[in-house]
Amino acid sequence: MSVDLLLAPAGSGKTEYAVERMRALLAAEPFAPILVILPNQLQVNEFRRRLAKAGGVLGAEFVTFYTLYAQVLARANQPLPRLSDPVQIRLLADIIGELWEEGQLIHYANLRTRPGFITVVRNLFQELKQARIFPEDFSSAVKGLGPRLEELATVYSAYQDWLQRENWADAEGQGWLAAIALEENPDFGRELRLLVVDGFDEFNPTQLEVLNLLADRARQCLVTFTGQVGQPCLVHQRFQRAREALNASLGKHLEPLAVPLSPKRSMALAGIEANLFESSNTSLDPLNAVEFIEAQTRAEEVRAALRWVKARIVRDGVEIPEIAILARDISAYRPFVEETAAEFGIPLRILGGLSLGENPAVNALITLLELPISDWPQRKLIESWRSPYFDWSFIKISADDAAKLEIAARQGRVISGLRQWDEAFDLLARQKNDAEVIADEEVQPPTLEPDRSYELRRKFEGFVEYLMPPARGTVHEFVSYVEDLIGEDPMLASRFAPGSQESLQSLNVVECACQNPATTERDVAALRAFKDVLRGLVLAEATLGNKELSYADFFADLIGAVRAAKYSAAFDSGVLAADVLEVRGLSFESLVLLGLSEGEFPRVEREDMLLWESDRAVLQAHGLAIESKLLNDEPSFFYQAVTRARQRLLLTRPYLAEDGQPWEPSPYWQEIKRLFDHPTIRIVRPEDPLPAEEAASLAEYILSTQQFDEHSIRGAALLSSRLDREPRGAYEGDTSELARVLAARYNQDQGWSASRLEAYGTCPFFFYISYALELEPTTPPEEGFDIRMLGSMLHQILENTYRQADDPGNPEECLKLLPGVADHVFATAPSDYGFRPTPLWTLQQQELIRILERTVTALAQVSVGYLPRYFEERFGMGNPSLVLHTSQGDIRLHGYIDRLDVGPDGRLRVVDYKAGGSAITSKDLADGHRLQLPIYALAARDALGLGEISGGFYWHIQKAEASQLKLERYEGGLERTFETAIDHIAKHIAHIRAGEFQPYPPSGGCPSYCPASSFCWRYRPKSY
């Protein structure tokens, strides 16, 4: 055995030396077997790429330790199946569940079903196995230390027992077995002429044992290490530990080779490598090789960094694979990097994988699959009908149907449950059109015509029948059901789990995902990863044994596996974006290091959740090779990060945190600054103008040159009109350009209700949105009745009570009748008015009767000498309309008058019931906000000819009091109220015809039912 150790600082050409050594050997002995072991697949790919660039070699094989283990076992005829991630998670969940059922798991009982718990248990077992700690050793070391550790030992033993019993292995177990196979087969590896081990900064005991055996058999072995001869410095600490472990494993002290290396690094970067964290008074010249950017936010930081990257590619001609963007944790930057790279047109290769559960296509599938378990909730169900990932054409569900279903759900007050959906469709078919009762109250919600509802019901029932899973089944059966729903992947071969004999019509999910080119690659990769998860579940079942389970249990397993799974879109090339730890051993011509602010890098080292530092000390005292988690490796990681750059390095950091507070720089940022003589720090703020030559996208160029297109100019005009104190212009309700159309639409033939005219008086834009554009507010159905329904019920009960009384002026008789009348109305109110009663409905009925009793009594007290005579009198709509002769020509009005009382002098008093509690004063009439009362008085007198009017008021039912506004007490008298109302009506109509719909929020705040309240720039909340 000959083991050569090449010890040299980072980036000094160790890999180049290894490549040259391989080439020299092959020149002398063509086809000599060479094995190169590298830390991960990314480095395998990069090593191959560099070798190809250097001319390539035949006969060299590149592996990670895991691939090597599998190869050794295959050669020893022990090709044990290896647990995939989903199978391992499922196995551990099963083992933990069984131990809990047997009463062996008490300390972790509450955590046992959490997917996060299974993942940390799996990570612990991986660490124990990497340290070659056998279950019996772990059990004996923790015996007597309490259930926290003893229960972990129980799970570990059960897990390992299962693997041995069933002849399966996990990744680390394959390493154990590969080491045994190597020992039992002394010929394995003897053919190797050269073994190269490159790019490692740590070895676990299994790797050391395998390495020891192979190094002993290979003719030559070359191990490269970062470091220096002599006293190790802080940044080499981690490499030094790995080197000592290797020496101990080989049983000898390896002396470093003395070979000349030729580093290809700029002077400034070489200076950083040599002086980082050293106390020397260095004063380097950055010479354009090291740059610093401080940006206001992470988003601005990424934008500046990617602008720099684009300049390297476009101006300096740097090849894309020679550039990398690193961060200690790239996930915090991921959305910004993806978005900005897409804008700048920079191809990207992000390492680390995306969370499968967060992919929109997978999310849509999960939502759909959950519907039967969550009892068909209306919002998620309608979302599924609308989802672009599902093709519902085979049951003829369209986007239009989703809108209709939403209306049906709102009308039927569907929250969830097939019974509620059924009731909603029943209601649609027979709903009493109560528009008459509430026409004058407020804006009406959209309704669905009964004959259209039959078709919708059929589609809904088809959907439920299609989606309904079997109540119980095996995992294989449930996976077949899910695979049938998803359908074929047009770009892949047949499925793993064959569909049922009579396959369902599929939703063609993959094909739908391909309809959007911008997201196809991402979504197809995620859907394939989702199918892998399904296959993992089938495999787990095949391995763990067939068990019947409920659909809910299957779905819980599926969700757990999806949450634990990652996926990567298959980008072959692009600028690499990765965590610092992923790229150890690689180098790049140009490098960006993001996030050098306090707390980001260095990261605070933390204890392991399950195996604390004190537990580790106990295990070490028992001679077990477990390491501390607090090794102070952050300086070494930083050294590895900055030494990845060969020619240019950009360091960046945000200077404001997400809450807008100043964010201090990281000590590592300060350390690099310290090494340079007057480093220039570029500060990037969003308000600073960007020179046109620096623009990295069309959007940036337009912004810097102010060459806005018509859309941008329109956007700017819109914003400026919204910021204006006084609303004006086309974007703020001025539709005077449409005056001709509006005048034709609202011509002399147009009938008006008081509520429409009041809507204009409340806020012109409210009228425009509600009545001119006929937009509807879409509020999700909730349990219980709303103010509109309450108003209708109260109106109905009062009307029926007074009508049924022999003497409606006798309060005692009315109060006697009232409970029975109310009960009659309440009995059918949910279906009549379309609401879903809450559990409080019975109590609410009693309370409403109390309110009505109070109101009847109070109304009688202010009605001495008056006799209620007319109820719900209709004008217009078949009866004579009220026709006003105004400056705008004749205006025809229609509506219902709640009540007319005859006074002692034979004249009539108008009473208009209000369910809401807002105060109504004379000013409301003077300002044109409240016009109903004088209109009704005029209608009773002039249109219906019922008699002269003496006065009138609004009656607040719930407060049991009259409004402050009383027609007879209005300044100028009754006739003045008529003139005021007619004056306002004429003005409102003139403005409507002229297209004046500027938003003016009412002084008391905007009505909750204004359909514009969710987007109106001038919305003002109600003040109480």
Where on the chain is the footprint of ligand SF4 (CB under 6 A)? 763, 765-766, 999, 1001, 1006, 1010, 1012-1013, 1016, 1018-1019
Peptide bond preceding 667 in cis form (omega within 30 of 0): no
Say how far apart CA 889 and CA 743 lie, in whole Å: 12
* Nearer to ligand SF4 among residue 295 and residue 769 (C-beta): 769
Phi (first) and psi of residue 14, to 5 degrees: -65, -45
Minimum distance between the CB of residue 768 and ligand SF4, rounded to whole angstroms?
Answer: 8
- Three-point CA angle 904, 910, 915, nearest 5°: 130
Q: Residue 594 or residue 1006: which is nearer to ligand SF4 going by CB?
A: 1006
> Which backbone phi and psi does 293 adopt, to 5 degrees?
-130, 130
- Least distance CB 435 / ligand SF4 (angstroms): 23
Non-local CB neighbours of 491 within 8 Å, separated by 6+ positions: 510, 524
Closest CA to 672 of 265, 307, 278: 278
Burial zone of 22 (CB within 10 Å; 0-12 exposed, 13-18 middle, 19+ buried): buried
By beta-carbon proximity to ligand SF4, the closer residue of 876 and 1001 is 1001
Nearest CB to ligand SF4, comparing residues 117 and 765? 765
Q: How far is the CB of 963 from ligand SF4 (least distance, A)?
A: 21
Backbone angles phi, psi at 663, to 5 degrees: -115, 115
In whole angstroms, what separates CA 549 from the centre of its chain?
30
> What's the start-to-end Cα distance of the chain, in Å?
89
Question: Do the beta carbons of residue 214 and residue 75 sit within 8 Å?
Answer: no
Work out how close the CB of 912 gets to ligand SF4 at its nearest, in angstroms, rounded to a whole number: 22
Burial of 143 (0-12, 13-18, 19+ CB in 10 A): exposed
- Provide the minimum distance between the beta carbon of 716 and ligand SF4 in the complex, in angstroms, as a whole number: 22
Q: Please identify, using beta-carbon distances, which residue of 180 and 1016 lies nearer to ligand SF4.
A: 1016
Q: Tokens in use for 59?
A: 């006969």
DSSP 200: -
Residues 243/636, Cβ–Cβ less than 8 Å: no
CB of 1023 to ligand SF4, least distance (A): 13
Would you say 582 or 924 has its CB closer to ligand SF4? 924
Nearer to ligand SF4, 384 or 1013 (CB): 1013
Q: Give the CA-trace dihedral at 101, 102, 104, 108, to 10 degrees.
A: 0
DSSP state of 943: I
Min dist. Cβ of residue 446 to ligand SF4 (A): 18
Which CB atom, from 42 or from 742, has the smaller least distance to ligand SF4? Answer: 742
- In the bound state with ligand SF4, the residue whose beta carbon lies nearer, of 852 and 1012, is 1012
Pick from 838, 798, 841: which is nearest to 821 by CA?
A: 798
Give whichever of 293 and 759 is closer to ligand SF4, judged by the CB atom.
759
CA 9, CA 263: separation in Å to the nearest integer? 10
Kindly state the smallest distance separating residue 723's Cβ from ligand SF4, in Å.
Answer: 15
Cβ-based nearer residue to ligand SF4, 199 or 1001: 1001
929 three-class SS: coil
Q: What is the DSSP letter of 940?
A: I
Q: How far apart are CA 11 and CA 618, in angstroms?
A: 39
Q: Which of these, 402, 517, 529, 535, lies nearest to 476 by C-alpha position?
A: 535
Determine how many CB atoms are found less than 10 A away from the CB of residue 989: 22
Q: Which two tokens stand for residue 886?
A: 């105004």
The DSSP line for 952-967 is: EEEEETTTTEEEEEEG
Smallest gap from Cβ 842 to ligand SF4, in A, equals 36
Instruction: Tell the smallest beta-carbon distance from residue 738 to ligand SF4 (Å).
Output: 18
Residue closer to ligand SF4 (CB basis): 986 or 1016? 1016
For the CB of residue 773, give the shortest distance to ligand SF4 in the complex, in Å: 11
Give the number of other CB atoms < 10 A from CB of residue 758.
21
The residue behind tokens 């560099």 is 50
Q: Which CB atom, from 165 or from 725, has the smaller least distance to ligand SF4?
A: 725
- Minimum Å gap between C-beta 765 and ligand SF4 is 4
Q: How many CB atoms lie within 10 A of CB 824?
A: 13
Q: For the purposes of burial, counting CB atoms within 10 Å of the CB of 895, is it exposed (0-12), middle (13-18) or buried (19 or more)? A: buried
Calculate the CA 812 to chain-centre distance. 60
Please state, in angstroms and rounded to a whole number, the distance separating the CA atoms of residues 385 and 407. 14
> Nearest approach, Cβ of 982 to ligand SF4 (angstroms)?
24
CB of 777 to ligand SF4, least distance (A): 10
Q: Is there a cis peptide before residue 654, judged by omega within 30 degrees of 0?
A: no
Which C-beta is closer to ligand SF4: that of 593 or that of 1010?
A: 1010
User: Can you give the length of the chain in residues?
Assistant: 1024
Give min distance, CB of 1005 to ligand SF4, in A.
8
Closer to ligand SF4 by CB, 466 or 1017: give it: 1017
Residue 951 or 1002 having the CB closest to ligand SF4: 1002
Q: Which two tokens stand for residue 831?
A: 């279906």
Q: Are strands 575-579 and 60-63 parallel, antiparallel or unpaired?
A: unpaired
For ligand SF4, give the closer residue by CB, 476 or 1018: 1018
Q: Please, what is the minimum distance in Å from the beta carbon of residue 1004 to ligand SF4?
A: 11
SS3 174: helix
Minimum distance, C-beta of residue 771 to ligand SF4, in the bound complex (Å):
12
Residue 152 vs residues 105, 165, 624, 651, 812: alpha-carbon distances, Å? 9, 20, 16, 43, 77
